[in-house]
A and B are shown apart, each in its own frame.
Chain A
Amino acid sequence: MARTFERALRRAGVPMAYSQGFSPHPKVSWVGAAPTGVASEAEYVEIQVVREIDPEALRRELDRSLPPGLDVLEAVTARAAGGSLADRIEASLWRIELPGVAPEDLAEATRRLLAAERVEVERLTKDGRRTLDARAAVVSAEVVAGDEPVTDGDQLPAEPTAQVADWPEWARPCGILVAVVRQTTPAVRPDDVLSALRVVADLVPPVPAKATRMAQGRLDDSGVPGTLVDPLAADRAASPTATPSGVDDPAVR
Chain B
Amino acid sequence: MFPRLEPLLPLVSKPVQYVGGELNATVKDWDATAVRWCLMYPDAYEVGLPNQGVMILYEILNEQPDVLAERTYAVWPDLERLMREHGVPQFTVDAHRPVGAFDLFGVSFATELGYTNLLTALDLAGIPLHAVDRTEDHPVVLAGGHAAFNPEPIADFLDAAVLGDGEEAVLEITDITRRWKAEGRPGGREELLLRLAETGGVYVPRFHDVEYLPDGRIQRVVPNRDRVPFRVFKRTTMDLDAWPYPKQPLVPLAESVHERMSVEIFRGCTRGCRFCQAGMITRPVRERSIEGIGAMVQRGLAATGFEEVGLLSLSSADHSEIADITKGLADRYEGTNTSLSLPSTRVDAFNVDLANELSRNGRRSGLTFAPEGGSERIRRVINKMVSEEDLIRTVTTAYANGWRQVKLYFMCGLPTETDEDVLQIAEMAKEVIRAGREASGRKDIRCTISIGGFVPKPHTPFQWAAQCDPDTVDARLRKLREAVNSDRSLGRNIGMRYHDGKPSLIEGLLSRGDRRVGRVIERVWREGGRFDGWSEHFSYQRWVDACATELEPLGVSLDWYTTREREETEVLPWDHLDSGLDKEWLWADWQDALDEREQDDCRWTPCFDCGVCPAMGTDIQVGPTGRKLLPITPVGQGSPVRNPALTGG
Which residue of A16, A24, A57 contacts B639 across the interface (Cβ within 8 Å)? A16
Cross-chain contact B364 with A22 (CB below 8 angstroms): yes
Cross-chain contact B306 with A7 (CB below 8 angstroms): yes
Residues of A within 8 A of B251 (CB): 7
Cross-chain contact A13 with B364 (CB below 8 angstroms): no
Cross-chain contact A13 with B306 (CB below 8 angstroms): no
Interface string of B353-382 (1 = CB under 8 A from A): 000000000111000000000000000000
**Nearest CB in chain B: distance from A204 CB, A:** 18
Cross-chain contact A53 with B306 (CB below 8 angstroms): no
Cross-chain contact A13 with B253 (CB below 8 angstroms): no
Q: Name the interface residues of B40-99: CB closer than 8 Å to any CB of A.
A: none
Cross-chain contact B253 with A15 (CB below 8 angstroms): no
Nearest-neighbor residue (CB-CB) of B642 within chain A? A13
**Residue A241 CB within 8 A of the other chain:** yes
Cross-chain contact A61 with B645 (CB below 8 angstroms): yes
Docked Cα-Cα span, A52 to B637, in Å, equals 12
**Residue A51 CB within 8 A of the other chain:** yes
Cross-chain contact A57 with B646 (CB below 8 angstroms): yes
Given the known interface contacts A13-B639, A50-B638, the answer about A6 and B305 at a Cβ–Cβ threshold of 8 Å is yes
**Residue A218 CB within 8 A of the other chain:** no
Cross-chain contact A11 with B302 (CB below 8 angstroms): yes
Docked Cα-Cα span, A53 to B643, in Å, equals 11
A interface, size bucket: 20 to 34
Docked Cα-Cα span, A15 to B636, in Å, equals 8
Q: Name the interface residues of B303-340: CB closer than 8 Å to any CB of A.
A: 303-307, 337
Interface string of B615-649 (1 = CB under 8 A from A): 00000000000000000000011111111011011
**Residue A139 CB within 8 A of the other chain:** no
**Residue B473 CB within 8 A of the other chain:** no
The dominant DSSP class at the B interface is loop
Docked Cα-Cα span, A49 to B639, in Å, equals 10
Given the known interface contacts A11-B302, A50-B637, the answer about A4 and B646 at a Cβ–Cβ threshold of 8 Å is no
Which residue of B306, B363, B638 contacts A23 across the interface (Cβ within 8 Å)? B363
Docked Cα-Cα span, A49 to B337, in Å, equals 13
Q: Name the interface residues of B246-269: CB closer than 8 Å to any CB of A.
A: 251, 253
Q: Name the interface residues of A5-63: CB closer than 8 Å to any CB of B.
A: 6-18, 22-24, 26, 49-54, 57-58, 60-61
Cross-chain contact A67 with B639 (CB below 8 angstroms): no
Given the known interface contacts A11-B304, A67-B21, the answer about A51 and B649 at a Cβ–Cβ threshold of 8 Å is yes
Cross-chain contact B305 with A10 (CB below 8 angstroms): yes
Which residue of A6, A24, A241 contacts B649 across the interface (Cβ within 8 Å)? A241
Residues of B within 8 A of A51 (CB): 637, 649
Docked Cα-Cα span, A217 to B307, in Å, equals 33
Nearest-neighbor residue (CB-CB) of A7 within chain B? B305
Docked Cα-Cα span, A14 to B304, in Å, equals 14
Nearest-neighbor residue (CB-CB) of A61 within chain B? B645
Residues of A within 8 A of B23 (CB): 7, 67
**Nearest CB in chain A: distance from B389 CB, A:** 31
**Nearest CB in chain A: distance from B645 CB, A:** 5
Of the A-B pairs whose beta carbons lie under 8 Å apart in the complex, a sample of 30, sorted by A's number, is A4-B253, A6-B305, A7-B305, A9-B639, A11-B303, A11-B641, A12-B639, A12-B643, A13-B639, A13-B641, A13-B643, A13-B645, A14-B638, A14-B639, A15-B637, A15-B639, A16-B337, A16-B638, A17-B638, A23-B363, A24-B362, A26-B337, A50-B637, A50-B638, A53-B646, A54-B646, A54-B649, A61-B643, A61-B645, A67-B21
Partner-B contacts on A (CB < 8 A): 4, 6-18, 22-24, 26, 49-54, 57-58, 60-61, 65, 67, 241
A-B contacts besides A7-B305, A22-B363, 9 pairs, CB < 8 Å: A7-B306, A11-B304, A11-B305, A13-B646, A14-B638, A15-B639, A18-B337, A24-B363, A54-B646
Complex A-B, nearest 5 residue pairs according to Cβ-Cβ distance, in ascending order? A13-B643, A7-B305, A15-B638, A52-B649, A10-B305
